[in-house]
Amino acid sequence: MRAWDVHLPAGTPADAAERLGRRSLVAAWTERWAADPAHPTLFDDRTGWVSAAELEQRTRAVAGRIAAAGIHPGDRMLLSAGASIDLVVAHIAALRAGLVVLPANTAYLERELAHIVRDATPALAVVDDEQRAGWIAAAAGDEPVVVTGTDVALPDGPDPAWIDGVTADDPAVLAYTSGTTGAPKGAALTHGNLLSSVEALGLAWRWTPDDRLVLPLPLFHIHGLGVALHGALTAGGSVVIRPSFDAADAIDAVGAHRATLLFGVPTMWSRLVASGRIEELAALRLGVSGSAPLDPGLHAAIAAGTGHHLIERYGMTETVILTSNPYDGDRRAGTVGLPIPGVELRLAEGSDEIEVRGPNVFSGYWQRPDATAESFHDGWFSTGDVGALDDDGYVRIVGRRKELIISGGYNVYPREVEDVLRTHPGVHDAAVVGIAHPEWGEQVVAVVEGPGGAADLDVLLALTRAELAPYKRPRRIVFVEALPRNALGKVVKADVAALVD
């Protein structure tokens, strides 16, 4: 299904979708910088504005340091730090030097980070926390890894001979995501995969160099990094980087910088409405919500306060963006819109699982040929989401074949949380489910088969605090004598959810 054509801007070339992602990210960006070197490109509170020419010079210098440290094209660079211009410079420099960037959530604890380090064997790690640096070094063991801060304060070196030599087919980002088995695996995204998505969004959302984006999303997540930051750089626009999300700060930044764009997850938009200042965002050209379903009531409240409707879209780590409500046209609450330019979408016969193909779809999981083979059918990637299409081709997500929980825009995989709970000797078994929540989208709830009691509850909460990032920890733990099971002894998750819903 390719339903977007009627929503493209007037004058769009007929073959625009076929030309998406034909270059590397850095080729697209350096071309923009050369065309308008004085253009204000990045802002943060510590540095102020950085022009396109300054960004080119800074990233070139850091690429030279990376090469001088003996790190070569194809090596991985782990990136785990708060949002800042220094972080963006390190990211771009790594891509210019031919490295594969491995974004890691700053909330990861030692166990979570160690798995990624051992699996991907990064040669370089850029972090802003000494404890995380120590965890990375310990996990690397005998594998050499250079660990540095976000300023990448390594010895200077000349431009590497291979600077900007990557192609559309070269890997750019290795983004870790978990399956229902709970074992995180890296989705290998090429320059072409990432570029095709943001070039399509440039068409779909009318993104231009005149746009200024306030970016409060974390840059270890595909939403913030692969959509917002990459999109703005590709369009030649400006980005106001915020170190974290705060409703008042985001609204202040929109006003102070005369921003035209604001992207967020439903939890952020809920807090913006609750701030009582949502009407101050009326000057935005476009607001976008993604990473989790947007409650129709919240959609209506934002429209009432700002005078225009958010665009809801749908994407995955493995595919970046798949669908979006149209910029010009009906933005239908409760749907994620139409396949964006270049993306084809269908519902699998018999299951209605959403399957997609296009230049944005990743090539496979890092060193996981079996998982890769299981995810593709006749060239179509199986998303694990169950969908429905209305008569106009709008997509609605009606469920998930996989048991993924999305809380506050972050993916939580039940098996990982369950495995942590099962390490306690008093837990006979555990089942983790997502329960609808007006602010978080879904709330993580654990149902534990065991004796229960206040003391046991405190012990389990302490266990999850020690082993899991905050967004993965159960907000509630319910004790039962026995989990509901089918005739084969398998836990029935629907019945589990009914116990706590």
Q: In this predicted model, what pLDDT tens digit does every residue of 358-385 receive, in sequence order?
A: 999 999 999 999 999 999 999 999 998 8
Calculate the average pLDDT of the chain. 92
Confidence of residue 5 (pLDDT cuts 50, 70, 90): low
Q: Is the domain defined by 1-24+192-402 classed in CATH 3.40.50.12780?
A: yes
What average pLDDT score do residues 207-230 get? Answer: 96
Distance CA 101, CA 99 (A): 6
120 token code pair: 């991907």
Distance CA 312, CA 292 (A): 9
Task: Examine the pLDDT at 61 and tell me if it is beyond 90.
Answer: yes
Provide the pLDDT for residue 181.
46
The answer for residues whose C-beta is within 8 angstroms of residue 15's C-beta and 6 or more apart is none
**Considering only CA atoms, which of 39, 356, 52, 408 is closest in space to residue 200?**
356
Task: Examine the pLDDT at 170 and tell me if it is beyond 90.
Answer: yes
Instruction: Look up the CATH number of domain 405-500.
Output: 3.30.300.30
Task: Examine the pLDDT at 496 and tell me if it is beyond 80.
Answer: yes
Distance CA 397, CA 406 (A): 13
Per-residue H/E/C for 447-491: EEECCCCHHHHHHHHHHHHHHCCHHHCCCEEEEECCCCECCCCCE
Task: Examine the pLDDT at 488 and tell me if it is beyond 70.
Answer: no
Provide the pLDDT for residue 451.
78
Task: Examine the pLDDT at 179 and tell me if it is beyond 50.
Answer: no
Domain with CATH 3.30.300.30 in the chain: 405-500
pLDDT in tens, 268-296: 999 999 999 999 999 999 999 988 778 88
pLDDT in tens, 140-167: 999 889 999 999 999 999 999 999 999 9
Whole-model pTM: value is 0.88
SS3 for 398? strand
Distance CA 423, CA 20 (A): 48
Q: What are phi and psi of 177, to 5 degrees?
A: -140, 155
What average pLDDT score do residues 453-471 get? Answer: 89
Domain with CATH 3.40.50.12780 in the chain: 1-24+192-402
**Considering only CA atoms, which of 267, 379, 394 is closest in space to residue 323?**
394
Task: Examine the pLDDT at 403 and tell me if it is beyond 80.
Answer: no
Query: Taken in order 100, 372, 474, 266, is the CA torsion positive or negative?
Result: positive
Distance CA 277, CA 285 (A): 17
What average pLDDT score do residues 334-343 get? Answer: 93
SS3 for 123? coil
Confidence of residue 487 (pLDDT cuts 50, 70, 90): low
Residue 397: exposed, middle, or buried by beta-carbon count in 10 A (0-12, 13-18, 19+)? middle
Q: 320 in the Ramachandran plot: left (φ > 0), alpha (ψ -120 to 50) or beta?
A: left
Distance CA 239, CA 241 (A): 6
Provide the pLDDT for residue 494.
79
359 token code pair: 């230049």
Confidence of residue 460 (pLDDT cuts 50, 70, 90): very high
SS3 for 174? strand
